[in-house]
Amino acid sequence: DAGITQSPRYKITETGRQVTLMCHQTWSHSYMFWYRQDLGHGLRLIYYSAAADITDKGEVPDGYVVSRSKTENFPLTLESATRSQTSVYFCASRGQGLGFYEQYFGPGTRLTVT
């Protein structure tokens, strides 16, 4: 399907486990972003990527790892999940250059760490 997809949509895991959230987009957008959404906070940027093999930290990167070996995929890994990482995670993408500033969001992954 065209667009931006995330998997899984819901995940429950235990403290200390490694979890990987997947994000896939079919537009060949250069930029991809991972956000978390928590009550009382706006969407906060975890990591972003300007292109394959180029990633950089956002506002709240601690405890997360990203990679981008292919333009269309941008997985987010929680190396050792903690309860504070219980959140809704959104992936987004956008094109590069003038006029390509609108970000397109995936449907979100609701992660619960017990």
Partner 1 sequence: KNEVEQSPQNLTAQEGEFITINCSYSVGISALHWLQQHPGGGIVSLFMLSSGKKKHGRLIATINIQEKHSSLHITASHPRDSAVYICAVREGGATNKLIFGTGTLLAVQP
Which of the stretches 13-21, 44-52, 63-71, 75-83 binds partner 1 when contact is defined by CB under 8 A? 44-52
| 28 alpha carbon, distance to own chain's centre | 16
Token pair recorded at residue 17: 């486990």
Cis peptide before 107 (omega within 30 of 0): no
Give the contacts of 3 (CB within 8 A, at least 6 positions apart).
25, 26, 27, 104
Task: Tell me if 40 contacts partner 1 by CB under 8 A.
Answer: yes
Closest separation in Å from C-beta 80 to partner 1 = 26
Q: Which is closer to partner 1, CB of 17 or CB of 41? A: 41
Question: From the list 1, 2, 28, 102, which residue makes contact with partner 1 (rule: CB under 8 A)?
Answer: 102
List the interface residues with partner 1, window 48-87 (CB under 8 A): 48, 50, 56, 58
Q: Is the dihedral of CA 87, 30, 7, 3 positive or negative?
A: positive
97 lies in the binding site for partner 1 (CB under 8 A): no
Q: Kindly tell me which of 79 and 94 has the beta carbon lying closer to partner 1.
A: 94
- Rounded-to-integer distance, Cα 48 and Cα 2, Å: 21
Site residues (vs partner 1, CB under 8 A): 31, 40-45, 48, 50, 56, 58, 88, 90, 101-105, 107-108, 110
